[in-house]
């Protein structure tokens, strides 16, 4: 079965609609999805950015929020300004999403974290927020946090981020099919079509 790798960062606005719609579109296209959380911070640092592009390029930031508002409205997704201003700290959530692969709860966890951040005005850097999400998925939160914070998982997230950078990723969401890179929620359809043909 053809597969697309879905690279996302919990602090990335456009990763939210992508996470909410990718499985439906991928199923329609008969393409599998590999969920790949990573961190944009280290990649942005390489551009000399130590803040969210939303803040650095304020005019563009204002536009992007308006654009995201239109997109979420068209997709029937709730959208509210996160309680914590950009950049968002998605480190804990990303470590959990990575460890969730072993037991298969990464997609549902990811969607719940995006909804908490962008629809429910919850702070996703707060452990309590993440514990509530895990509990709703009937995942043992203590065990999940212990595994997420273990050295090998921290290292695995660093490696995942380094792989993203080495494969030419510079933003999120991104989609890869082998060496073919697609960037942006608005390229999801094209990425799935590419995977079908590949």
Q: Provide the binding-site residues for its own copies, judged by CB under 8 A.
A: 47, 57, 59-60, 62-63, 66-67, 70, 168, 170-171, 181-184, 186-187, 190
Query: How far apart (Å, rounded) are the C-alpha atoms in residues 173 and 12?
Result: 7
CA distances to 4, 68, 145, 178 from 128, in Å: 32, 27, 11, 37
User: Smallest distance from the beta carbon of 45 to its own copies, in angstroms?
Assistant: 13
CB of 186 to its own copies, least distance (A): 5
Q: Strand, coil or helix: what is 4?
A: strand
What are the C-alpha distances in Å from 139 to residues 104, 130, 135, 161?
Answer: 11, 11, 6, 25
For CA atoms 5, 147, 92, 105, the dihedral sign is: positive
178: left (phi over 0), alpha (psi -120 to 50) or beta: left
* Cβ proximity to its own copies, 128 vs 168, nearer residue: 168
Alpha-carbon torsion angle 21, 16, 142, 127, nearest 10 = -160
Least distance (Å) from its own copies to the CB of residue 40?
13
CB-nearer residue toward its own copies: 114 or 183? 183
Give the containing element (helix H, strand E) for 20: helix 15-29
Pick the closer one to its own copies by CB: 62 or 102: 62
Smallest gap from Cβ 168 to its own copies, in A, equals 6
CB of 170 to its own copies, least distance (A): 5
CB nearer to its own copies: pick between 18 and 124: 18
């Amino acid at each position: 079965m053809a597969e697309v790798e879905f690279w996302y960062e919990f602090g990335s606005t456009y990763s939210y609609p992508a996470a909410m719609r990718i499985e439906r579109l991928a199923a329609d296209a008969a393409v599998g999805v590999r969920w790949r959380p990573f961190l944009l911070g280290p990649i942005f640092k390489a551009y000399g950015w130590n803040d969210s592009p939303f803040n650095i390029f304020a005019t563009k930031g204002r536009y992007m929020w308006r654009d995201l508002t239109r997109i979420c409205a068209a997709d029937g997704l709730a959208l509210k300004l996160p309680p914590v201003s950009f950049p968002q700290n998605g480190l804990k959530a990303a470590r959990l999403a990575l460890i969730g692969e072993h037991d298969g709860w990464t997609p549902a966890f990811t969607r719940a974290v995006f909804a908490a951040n962008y629809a429910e005005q919850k702070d996703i850097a707060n452990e309590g927020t993440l514990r509530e999400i895990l509990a709703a998925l009937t995942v043992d939160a203590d065990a999940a946090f212990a595994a997420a914070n273990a050295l090998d998982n921290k290292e695995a997230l660093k490696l995942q981020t380094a792989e993203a950078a080495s494969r030419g990723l510079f933003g999120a969401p991104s989609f890869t099919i082998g060496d073919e890179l697609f960037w942006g929620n608005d390229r999801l359809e094209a990425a799935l079509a590419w995977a079908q043909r590949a």
